[in-house]
Structure 1
């Protein structure tokens, strides 16, 4: 018998880390969509959406207690990522004439803000009615090697159109680099229900960034035309994933690459990526004001983590669509700048829109 999806128990998230209390916060709209978020990492813990049969389906990987998050092999499930999402080569970058060092935590690279990045922090929170939660965090000058005191707000809003809108805002007192995203692992068949290779994916991008064997962009902005990276027309995630391809090999046997969003697709309501699961009929559209999106096909999941229903998270058991500025941008002058200076405000927004009431790809 299939185990039904349900929210974790809130009391399993009442914990204390570094003298700060953690909680599970729940938002629900009028159409049966429910989102549970923790102030540990300002992360999405569960996202329940009715499938084509009306059955609630949890489409986000995660765990049923704070202790499980602390012990997990994969630390980024659903978390807010910062100060710098994705990779910085050798953990080193320069601002003006000064060089800064973030300790590598991903081979030679600094990944997702370092080992004590935003995903491992306890955020302050404020609930607005039952459809909005605001999170606040102040990153100290020098935290994980990044300069400047950075004051960050992340706002989660749930609409009655089944949209989860994430807004980011940051200010600094010294020049620094900033790249914020959310690291939700999605499986539209339901978390722990096997791989996502049957999901149909479309990405409105003509170019992507090839990477070296340490997954750092080479600096080339390559056309997706006639490559396995071409998702301009919908195709199954698994259609080309087993092909012999150097770039897929560099991603540990799958996709882990930044796509350059076509400028006409942002900002606005037009989705820059769409995913559809034929099994459940659930469709996800992603809209963003960011210039890039990292498509990751769960290549480093290995079954060592067991999710909310006790099922292992195997390779290809989820996909991520991380809206962002480009990886290693501080070291690559031709990429959109991630520099933030005093007096300026970093602001960006990403929208995850869910539906089951229309075909995946409607003709225009």
Structure 2
């Protein structure tokens, strides 16, 4: 019996660790990722200002798992009917599989945006944004533009504003969002607090600003306005992974894409057991992994049972239920717990606790300690 997990982000690594605890040694588990390390994506923006943090937010996959086989390769295609995976080096077959490949940056075919903007999906991206920002600071009247006012864009804009202060420059940081508010998919009180925190950090927030194109020096906006920039970051949306043709396939509450294949995390468009569309986030990916771990276990037990006269097991369903939301805004943070929104030191401490707790959950105790130490040193 061979279980394959494709992708070692939040969903994939959590799922793999849960399956290791569940299965006996004769069930083979393979974890595939194009990188040998797990990246704590929700802390990636901090590398823009603190490059040394890169080591704190990367965890070796071989250290993070117990007995699963880690295969470092790029997934190129998945045939869910044949249960085969084409890799950049060879192929795999599986009895039960899970697609946890995450999402890629969406550029929506906007002319020049892909060519001139830097996304934030990797450590190399974070370092490139830092290099571009520092280069911009050496110019007269430096202007930095971030396209996309979701949580990722908010965090990037906050870090750039804080970096500008540390470099003693009067650079302008502008955040563009096509909707009428930043963090548009979140509750209104959270939105207001996020905007206020951005403005307190010196970020100019332009809502109702739809990007139409970009060239080497300016971003085009709907209405024929052009916004000059010296550095341009794009966090304007996500698309599905390339092996799924850029699609995020819709899965329902049991998270099953096909008979023996699941899709979860940012790779899928999830509609939960109550018919609610689930936002793409780290916390939802981790919770979906728990549901999939249970369902994979039930299917493996059924397939190993030998009596196929029985009905297939009833699968568990996932229901979206977030305890709250957290976002960093430079040296500040905004947290929502139920209906209550908090900012300042309390929110920053909460975000640090969540980050350290996640690192501890994947066995990276040293990383968690270093992360907390860095945060305490800044407050």
Structures share fold, TM-score greater than 0.5: no
Higher relative strand content: 1
Higher relative helix content: 2
Using the size of structure 1 for normalisation, the TM-score is 0.24
The structure whose Rg is larger is: 2
Using the size of structure 2 for normalisation, the TM-score is 0.23
